[in-house]
Amino acid sequence: MELSKKNLNERLHQIYDVIIVGGGAGGLSAGIYLQRFRLSSLIIDKGKARSFWMQELHNYLGLPPNTPGKVLLQQGKEHYASVDGDFLNAYVEEVIDEGETFAVKVKIGRVNSISAVFRSRYLIAASGIIDNLPPLAEMRNVYDYAGYNLHVCMVCDGYEMTDKKCGFFAGSEASIEEMVFNLSWFTPYITVFTHGSFAVSPNMRQKLQEHGYPLVETQIQQFLGHNHQMTGVELVDGSVIELETGLISMGSHYHNTYLQGINLELKGNNLVTDRMCRTSHPRIFAIGDLKVGLNQVVVAASDGALAATQIWRDIRHSRGARRWEEHLTVNV
Ligand SMILES: Cc1cc2nc3c(=O)[nH]c(=O)nc-3n(C[C@H](O)[C@H](O)[C@H](O)COP(=O)(O)OP(=O)(O)OC[C@H]3O[C@@H](n4cnc5c(N)ncnc54)[C@H](O)[C@@H]3O)c2cc1C
C-alpha cells in the first residue's frame, strides 16, 4: 500500500518485520524479496535516488543499455507494490534501538510536514550516497550535463569515455592520485581541473606533466554544450577548453545521519557488513552504496537479495517449522 499523510494511521500500530530506509535499487530489491518471503516490510524513501540521476544504465544484464534509472525505479516500485509492500515517501530523521524493535521517526511532506513513528524488528539501511558536483554559481548548468556525458563513475561509464577528450574534475589531490592514472585505461586525453579549490603539490604537477595531462587551476565559469551533451568548459577568465566527455570526482555525501545514535562499525563513511550485509548490529543490515563495496546497481540489487534472505533465515529459525494440524494426534 502507498502510505501518505491521509492513511498512515492504519499502520502506526503495526510492527513491521523490516523497515527499509531508501527506495533505490537496493531498497526495492530487498523489499521485493522480503514480501516474497511473506514478511511484512515498509520502504521509506525521500526520493531522488542516485539511481534517479543515472540517465542511462549501460551495464545491467537484461536491460537495454540506454535504460534510464527512473525507469528502473518505477518498475521496481510497481513490482514491490504488486507483492503488497508498503511504501512511504518521507524522510527518516532518526532510528532508535528499543531492544526488540526499532522506532523509526519520519518527517512527511516538505510543506505542512508532519512527524510519525513506525516500528520494525529489523532495519535495512539502503539510503545510499550522493555525489558532490562542481560548485558553480549556476548549478542548473551542472545538472544539464551531469549523468549524461559528464559522468560521476568510472566503473559505470569509463567505456563511454574511450579515447575521448576528457575533463577530470577533481575535489582533492587524493582524487587525482586515485583516479586519473586509472582513467587513462580508457582515455589518455585527460585535462585535470581543480576549479581553484585546492593546491596541487610539485610532485603531482610533475607526474601530470610526465603523462601529458594539462592541469587547469582557474575557476570554472560554466559548462558548455547543448541537448545535455557537454562540449567544453568556459573558465572565469573567458578562455574555453573543448572536451568530449568528463568525469567528476569530488567526493560524496553519505545518507546516514539517522543512524548516528547507534554505534555501528564504519570504514571511512561506509558501513561495514558481513557477506550477508549484516552490520555490527545483529538486526541492522546495510546494502548498496552506503556499505563497503562497489557502487553499482547490480551490487545494490544483489545486496538486497542477501540481506532479505538472511533476515528471513533469522526470523524463520526463531519461529520454527509450521505443523500440519490435522495430522497431529490429540493427547487427552
Ligand atoms: C549519474 C550516475 C550514473 C550512474 N551510472 C551507473 C551505471 O551506469 N551503472 C551502475 O551500475 N551504476 C551506476 N551508478 C551508480 C548507481 O546509481 C548506484 O550504485 C545505485 O543507485 C546504488 O543504489 P542504492 O540503492 O544503494 O542507493 P540509491 O539508488 O541512491 O537509493 C537510496 C535512496 O535512499 C533515499 N534516502 C537517503 N536518505 C534517506 C532518508 N534519511 N530517509 C529516506 N530516504 C532516504 C535516497 O533519496 C534514495 O532514494 C550511477 C550513479 C550516478 C549518480
Protein residue with its CA nearest to atom 31 in ligand 1: 24
- Alpha helices (runs of H) in the chain, residue ranges in sequence order: 25-36, 50-53, 69-82, 139-143, 154-157, 173-175, 181-183, 202-211, 297-319
Mutational test site, ligand 1, from 19, 33, 54, 230, max ligand atoms within 8 Å of CB: 54
In this model, does residue 108 exceed pLDDT 90? yes
Q: Is 258 in the pocket of ligand 1 (CB under 6 A)?
A: yes
Where are the domains positioned within the chain? Answer: 2-130+252-319, 133-249
How far away, in angstroms, is 49 Cα from ligand 1 center?
A: 5
C-beta neighbour count of 284 within 10 angstroms: 22
How far away, in angstroms, is 2 Cα from ligand 1 center?
A: 21
Mean pLDDT value of segment 234-248? 98
How far away, in angstroms, is 151 Cα from ligand 1 center?
A: 14
Q: Is 86 in the pocket of ligand 1 (CB under 6 A)?
A: no
Least confident among 152-166, 194-208, 212-226, 318-332: 318-332
Q: Is 48 in the pocket of ligand 1 (CB under 6 A)?
A: yes
Q: Output the pLDDT for position 330.
A: 65
CATH architecture entry for 2-130+252-319 = 3-Layer(bba) Sandwich (3.50)
Protein residue with its CA nearest to atom 49 in ligand 1: 49
- DSSP 8-state class, residue 146: B
Q: Which pLDDT band holds residue 332 (cuts at 50, 70, 90)?
A: low
Mean pLDDT value of segment 277-303? 98
Q: Output the pLDDT for position 150.
A: 97
At which residue does the C-alpha cell 534510464 appear?
Answer: 68
Spatial separation of the C-alpha atoms in residues 239 and 58, rounded to whole Å:
34
Q: Output the pLDDT for position 331.
A: 62
Compute the mean pLDDT over every residue in the chain, rounded to the nearest whole number.
Answer: 96
Q: What is the pLDDT of residues 19-41, one digit of tens each?
A: 999 999 999 999 999 999 999 99
Half-sphere exposure of 53 (CA within 13 A, CB side): 21
Spatial separation of the C-alpha atoms in residues 164 and 175, rounded to whole Å:
20
Fold matches, 2-130+252-319 and 133-249:
yes
At which residue does the C-alpha cell 526470523 appear?
Answer: 315
Q: Output the pLDDT for position 53.
A: 87
Protein residue with its CA nearest to atom 48 in ligand 1: 49
Q: Is 144 in the pocket of ligand 1 (CB under 6 A)?
A: no
How far away, in angstroms, is 316 Cα from ligand 1 center?
A: 30
**How buried is 262 (Cβ within 10 angstroms: 0-12 exposed, 13-18 middle, 19+ buried)?**
middle
Nearest one of 224, 23, 184 to 106, comparing CA atoms: 23
Mean pLDDT value of segment 230-244? 98
CATH number at 133-249: 3.50.50.60
In this model, does residue 173 exceed pLDDT 80? yes
Least confident among 40-54, 100-114, 235-249, 318-332: 318-332
In this model, does residue 328 exceed pLDDT 80? yes
How far away, in angstroms, is 25 Cα from ligand 1 center?
A: 7
Protein residue with its CA nearest to atom 27 in ligand 1: 128
